[in-house]
Amino acid sequence: MEKNAALFQFLCRMGDNTLVLGHRVSEWCGHAPVIEEDIALANTALDLLGQTQLWLELAGTVEGKGRSADDLAFLRDVWDFRNLLLVERPNGDFGHTLLRQFLFDAWQNIILARLTESRDQRIAEIAEKAAKEAAYHVERSSGTVIGLGDGTDESHRRMQAALDRLWPYVGEMFCGDAADQTLAAAGIAPRPEDLRSAWDAHVNAVLDAATLARPDSDFAHKGGRDGTHTEHLGYILADMQFLQRAYPGAAW
């Protein structure tokens, strides 16, 4: 794949992950079980949206067609989104939301650390900024997964059910394609496959402490990174993009 096209694809993947997950997490605002968790979820969503701004702004620059981060976020349709299927999964209960967050945070924390070494200075700088936030997120979501997994019978049962339901969406994080190969060869981004062992080490340790059983099957749903999404993304975009679609160019 041509390098600039691969770079644009990669930046959309990074930015769309944080955008869609940030939107999902923001759906909790005002609904969390206790106020501290409500605040924590809203702050996490805010970090993710801030990171989105950085990734998509650079994507627009790399693309060179004059599209801003807002244009990319609000004016693309489902098939142009490149996020993992994992992040568009509906929230489910609080434990399910935190478990999804944990699976993502563990991955994001690892990839951002690798990206701080990117040969593309712009990517290294965004990663340096975002890595501090991701480190904080993974600390919190790991702790919550342990607390709920190794909690009451009810919380344990719910966390195990969430893990079983979300596990088929894990594999997509580690499936590279031609664009990833191009960027890895140029020293810009790591191969997704190469992140798996560090991810496994962190996740296994947390699942152990949480007394949760790692599912056996590594069957993986895929497609999000290429624009083939589940039905859920359309509903997210309908909500998120409504204003710019109905009132183009509306600003604060």
Residues within the interface to another protein (CB under 8 A) = 22, 36-37, 39-40, 43-51, 53-54, 124-126, 128-133, 136, 139-140, 143
Rounded-to-integer distance, Cα 193 and Cα 185, Å = 14
Q: Whats the size of the chain, residue-wise?
A: 252
Spatial CA neighbour of 207 closest among 149, 153, 168, 164? 149
Decide whether 141 or 182 has the Cβ nearer to another protein.
Answer: 141
Rounded-to-integer distance, Cα 126 and Cα 54, Å = 7
Instruction: Tell me the closest approach of the beta carbon of residue 74 to another protein, in angstroms.
Output: 17
Instruction: Tell me the closest approach of the beta carbon of residue 37 to another protein, in angstroms.
Output: 7
DSSP 150: T
Rounded-to-integer distance, Cα 214 and Cα 8, Å = 34
Instruction: Tell me the closest approach of the beta carbon of residue 218 to another protein, in angstroms.
Output: 31
Spatial CA neighbour of 222 closest among 85, 67, 29? 85
Decide whether 9 or 51 has the Cβ nearer to another protein.
Answer: 51
Decide whether 62 or 170 has the Cβ nearer to another protein.
Answer: 62
Decide whether 129 or 165 has the Cβ nearer to another protein.
Answer: 129
Instruction: Tell me the closest approach of the beta carbon of residue 221 to another protein, in angstroms.
Output: 29
CA dist 44 to 29, 49, 104, Å? Answer: 11, 9, 12
Decide whether 16 or 172 has the Cβ nearer to another protein.
Answer: 16
Decide whether 40 or 179 has the Cβ nearer to another protein.
Answer: 40
Instruction: Tell me the closest approach of the beta carbon of residue 197 to another protein, in angstroms.
Output: 26
Angle between the N-to-C axes of helices 153-166 and 94-115, in degrees from 0 to 180, rounded to the nearest 10: 50
Instruction: Tell me the closest approach of the beta carbon of residue 220 to another protein, in angstroms.
Output: 30
Rounded-to-integer distance, Cα 105 and Cα 113, Å = 12
